[in-house]
Amino acid sequence: MTVSMLEAASPALDLERIRADFPILDQEVNGHRLVYLDNAASTQKPAAVIETIDRYYRRDNANVHRGVHELSHRATEAYEQARGKVARLLGIGDEAELIWTKGTTEAINLVARTWGEANIRAGDEILLSVLEHHSNLVPWQLLAQRTGARLRFLDLDDQGRLELSRVDDLLTERTKLVSISHISNALGTINPVSHIAEMAHAVGAVMLVDGAQSAPHLPVDVPSLGADFYAFSGHKMCGPTGIGGLWGRRALLEAMPPFHGGGDMIDYVELESSTYAPLPLKFEAGTPHIAGAIGLGAAADYLASVGRDNILAHERHLMAYALERMAEIPDLVLHGPRDPAERSGVVSFTLADVHPHDIATILDGEGIAVRAGHHCCQPLMRRLCVPATARASFYLYTGTDDVDRLVDGLMKARTMFGL
């Protein structure tokens, strides 16, 4: 497909209308229209989400699951409705299987602490990959240190794809858990997690999918992925920061000990012991991020109204366009899969001897926001033999005009560095 054909292809979204939903995009940065390409780090919020949070604090704010008064009732209703909205977006039929957490990091730590400590013993193995975000690495390192378990790692091929042929060798009867990201935040690689889950189950292991990058970008039907746990973050999918979730199979969640102790997670408390609330409250001690959950519910409504298939089609088109246009830039090295169908939302690159931080500063001067650095994936950077990369990441409000601005900015960086 050529660039001109891509430009002519009819986009799945009415970009002008979508952009008008995001007030923050309507501004200039360093004298240029803001081009926000740091969506893998955090996404912008549509007015519907901002207004929902504003309305909650102005009209309905109170603690949940406690009071008999009107405001507590309204807050509880909105909070639990939000759980239903997010569950529906992700295909989760049993809402009690969706636990609110601060985000992906807390969700993974919850599993490592509760399921992990109840089930992992010295000599057991946990299989991860070298492209994991620190949040899907460090909790398992801590668990391994506490229990004497061993971490094993799936390697990558030269395009940043997991070496699936090695999975069979790495899975043994000692493997108790496999935890793999659905989409790499640093490279954009879409990993075949359903296939890996099947192989994990064949040796009796439990499978966790880090969905921080897939919940926003793919029309994921969580239970049908075939995994046992799925972790995600609200702020990467148009919702507020500080809210996200963990989905787990009911039987596993019920068998797990609680995570934090406190109010809301109890059934009956005596001085020496307590019984615990049923799912999902068993894992939700303390006053939760009520406004955050309600805001994430509004984000789920928003994404559903745009259509997750439409978002996917739009991003596929954009990715093909970006890979094509960036290939025009001399000395630019693209990391990750070359086939646009194998990647989502993220373009990671290096440009000759220009350090990624200098690229990011020069692009910032053009009003373009990208991330530079290790992307919380230091082991992956070492594996790719680069100290850092620059990363442009897209979302539903990103257009081919933004990619054009990025390409122009990179050409400027070349000129500035005398290339």
Using the rule CB under 8 A, give the single segment among 230-238, 279-287, 324-332, 349-357 that binds other proteins: 349-357
Residue 216 structure tokens: 């926003």
Q: Is 383 one of the binding residues for other proteins (CB under 8 A)?
A: no
Our separate counts of H helices and E strands in the chain read 15, 17
Taking CB under 8 A as the criterion, which residues in 25-44 touch other proteins?
A: 30-31
Using the rule CB under 8 A, give the single segment among 60-68, 149-157, 205-213, 365-373 that binds other proteins: 365-373
**Cα angle 164, 225, 243; round to 5:** 110
Query: Counting every residue, how long is the chain?
Result: 419
Q: Which of 416, 408, 415, 401 is nearest to 36 (CA)?
A: 401
Q: Nearer to other proteins by C-beta: 260 or 355? A: 355
Of 88, 134, 249, 355, the residue at the interface with other proteins (CB under 8 A) is: 355
Q: How far is the CB of 193 from other proteins (least distance, A)?
A: 27
Distance CA 328, CA 391 (A): 17
Q: Is 287 one of the binding residues for other proteins (CB under 8 A)?
A: no
Q: How far apart are the first and last CA of the chain?
A: 29
Residue 377 catalytic? no
Q: Is 373 one of the binding residues for other proteins (CB under 8 A)?
A: yes
Q: How far is the CB of 7 from other proteins (least distance, A)?
A: 29
Other C-beta atoms closer than 10 Å to the C-beta of 129 total 27
Q: Is 9 one of the binding residues for other proteins (CB under 8 A)?
A: no
Q: How far is the CB of 97 from other proteins (least distance, A)?
A: 37
Residues 200/168, Cβ–Cβ less than 8 Å:
no
Distance CA 397, CA 377 (A): 26
Q: Is 218 one of the binding residues for other proteins (CB under 8 A)?
A: no
**Cα angle 213, 217, 218; round to 5:** 105
Of 365, 369, 383, 404, the residue at the interface with other proteins (CB under 8 A) is: 365
Q: Is 385 one of the binding residues for other proteins (CB under 8 A)?
A: no
φ and ψ at residue 246, rounded to 5 degrees: -125, 125
Distances (CA, A) of 262 to 42, 266, 267, 286: 30, 7, 11, 6
List the catalytic residue out of 238, 376, 377, 385: 376
Q: Nearer to other proteins by C-beta: 176 or 391? A: 391
Q: Nearer to other proteins by C-beta: 313 or 407? A: 407
Chain residues that interact with other proteins, rule: CB under 8 A: 30-31, 353-358, 361-362, 364-365, 372-374, 378, 381, 387-388, 416-418
Catalytic residue numbers? 376
